[in-house]
Amino acid sequence: MYIGFGCSMSIIMFHGFIKNIPEELEEAATLDGCNSLQLFFFIVVPMLRTVMITVAILNVMWIWNDFLLPSLIINKAGWQTLPLKIYLFFGQFSKRWDLASAGLMLCIIPIVIFYLTCQKYIVKGVTEGAIK
């Protein structure tokens, strides 16, 4: 299985965020009657929402735009990803800029929509981290 930069960066981000959760918060929830599952799902996971969305955005962008791994693995015609299909518009003697521009727009639009839907959580996470 291929584990690259995105996975190790995600682990580092989660580790850094979870390490900064105060133990007093967990102890207070335990004193209020939370068991370990309730502590995780009702206390820790809501606090992790911003870092989960940030990791999701970075990994989606990395996986969606990946060129090298699909070019090495996919060898059937018609199974190529969008970046591989766009690469086919540039030949040795001809360049199809009209088709390449349309393909690039198709590659960009889903990422922009995903980012715009998740942007409010990122801004909220940045401002929460600055207020400490």
Query: pLDDT by residue (tens digit) across 41-93?
Result: 998 888 888 888 888 888 888 888 788 888 888 888 888 888 888 888 888 88
Q: Is the predicted pLDDT of residue 129 greater than 70, yes or no?
A: no
More confident residue, 23 or 3: 23
d(CA 1, CA 85): 24
- Give all strands (DSSP E) within the chain, no chain letters: none
Q: What is the CATH number of the domain that holds 124?
A: 1.10.3720.10
Give residue for tokens 């922009």: 112
Q: Which amino acid is at 45?
A: V
Exposure on the CB side of residue 23, measured as CA atoms within 13 A: 0
Average pLDDT, the chain: 82
What is the number of H-type helices and E-type strands within the chain?
7, 0
Show the domain range for 41. Answer: 5-131
Counted domains in the chain: 1
Predicted confidence at residue 14, as pLDDT, reads 85
